[in-house]
Structure 1
């Protein structure tokens, strides 16, 4: 048995340090170590990899990650209560766990961890999407992202063209990564239980994504999905000569955003880039 396995149960840690989950921080703690271990294992072979965790809370997933072959774990936590509560886990990790106190939205995660690096996290629900978009901008810096989202967000990540859940997040995520929903977790697994289920999703960087600038992709998807019920010839007017952009991208003016595959949006982004140069 490792020193980590000898630590007290997470419920004892929560009681000792008065770690009631704070809604303002998007906290929902996962206390079942069988489940946190499953998430850690879902990240795959972590031998030699430095794992970045966001919002470790009382350290449930952190324990699971330390029980893998990961070279080290860097955990980013903004709640000072949790920072204090993790002291025993840091000691038990014997140099393999580094805690960074701060806001993950402002953290330069590449600077915190050497390559190869991966992110594994039960993301705070209130910042999950902006965190993901930031990582997708530079996803080539990571071996993988294994993340827990509200199920409705996970459904959007993996959605295909033609459905109501297909949107900007679907396009940008699938453009930059291979999106793999892994398994669902019921609300009752969390403390406090959220109102909906959660899903663990893995994103593997695409080796050769469709060429386009990230900012241009954001612009064209925002315009198209901002008025998703309108045809492209109307929804794209806000960013330039819609008819010209559509023609250059090889699309049809009467199509709507939800009908356009990732490659089509990349073509639109390239046409938009060209129109701005």
Structure 2
């Protein structure tokens, strides 16, 4: 190898050695480095020595090691094999090695195992799907303490009438009690993300509300598409009426019910909204009880959202 190339290669190698692992932006890798934040997150989870803990995106294991000190077992889900190797190296030959199980792969595509608590500094681009994967997971877990982008965290706790109140807010609050625990500045991470962060505690409602969540989600999707519009206007959209009519016809055929000749979906929908007295409500000010009443009203007339 020519001398020049050898020198260049050795310089690059030294740079990589100095930096350690180069974090992958595609996976949203920002390693939490402040031990005080890590300790605080673990304390807020009220961890017991008998608990099995799920950690999503353990990174280089700063939080994992601290959880291993207090829990019976940690199941760490990691997509990046370089970080898996780093984590294995970190516990190798220690008392923590038998307590750590690593699941390699995309947590959104994986079957989640049983766990009592979830503690995680999660990659922010999977925030929303991960929240619902956790909240719809059975058997129930006790609570999750999760780090999110600050605005996402504020949406989770937003109330009707708040500027950030949206479908995410009401869908999450239907399934869980949500508390904002603390703000975390960007300098607590390596490399620092572009946004500020917040830690949230989610406690699943057990037993869950007696509602088909897929239907509920279908209803809130229509209502929040334009949250400042009235429900009357939201339900007049052709795409919405077509979807409801398709579901209605399927529902009737499954029950061998004949559809009346003069059937008109728009008229039926408007009459349900008027009878419930909700056609002038707007999603941005509606709470869980409002949506439950509407879902029940539609379902009792054979109209479904899934």
Counterpart in 2 of 1:222?
A: 221
Distance 1:210 1:183 in 2: 28
Label 1:133 to 1:188 Cα distance change in 2 as closer, same or farther (>3 A).
same
Counterpart in 1 of 2:58?
A: 56
TM-score, scaled to structure 2: 0.78
TM-score, scaled to structure 1: 0.86
Counterpart in 2 of 1:10?
A: none
Give secondary structure in 1 for the equivalent of 2:235: helix
Distance 2:295 2:90 in 1: 47
Runs of 4+ in 1 over 4 A off after TM superposition: 14-17
Match of 2:49 among 38, 47, 50: 47
Q: Which stretches in structure 1 are left out of the alignment for 5+ residues?
A: 1-13
Does the 8 Å CA contact 1:213/1:270 hold for their aligned counterparts?
no
Match of 1:271 among 294, 297, 302: 297
CA radius of gyration, larger in? 2
Counterpart in 2 of 1:11?
A: none
Alignment of 1:1-277 (within 5 A): 18-68=20-70, 70-91=71-92, 92=94, 93-109=96-112, 112-113=113-114, 117-138=116-137, 141-237=140-236, 238=240, 240=244, 241-247=268-274, 250-274=276-300, 275-276=302-303
Distance 1:271 1:140 in 2: 30
Distance 1:16 1:87 in 2: 21
Task: Encode CA deviations 1:28-84: one digit per residue, 9 max, x unaligned.
Answer: 11112222122112111333111001110101111221122x210000001011011
Distance 2:81 2:18 in 1: 14
Q: CA RMSD in A?
A: 2.1
Give secondary structure in 2 for the equivalent of 1:103: coil
Distance 1:267 1:139 in 2: 26
Q: Which stretches in structure 2 are left out of the alignment for 5+ residues?
A: 1-15, 245-267
Label 1:244 to 1:176 Cα distance change in 2 as closer, same or farther (>3 A).
farther
Does the 8 Å CA contact 1:83/1:99 hold for their aligned counterparts?
yes
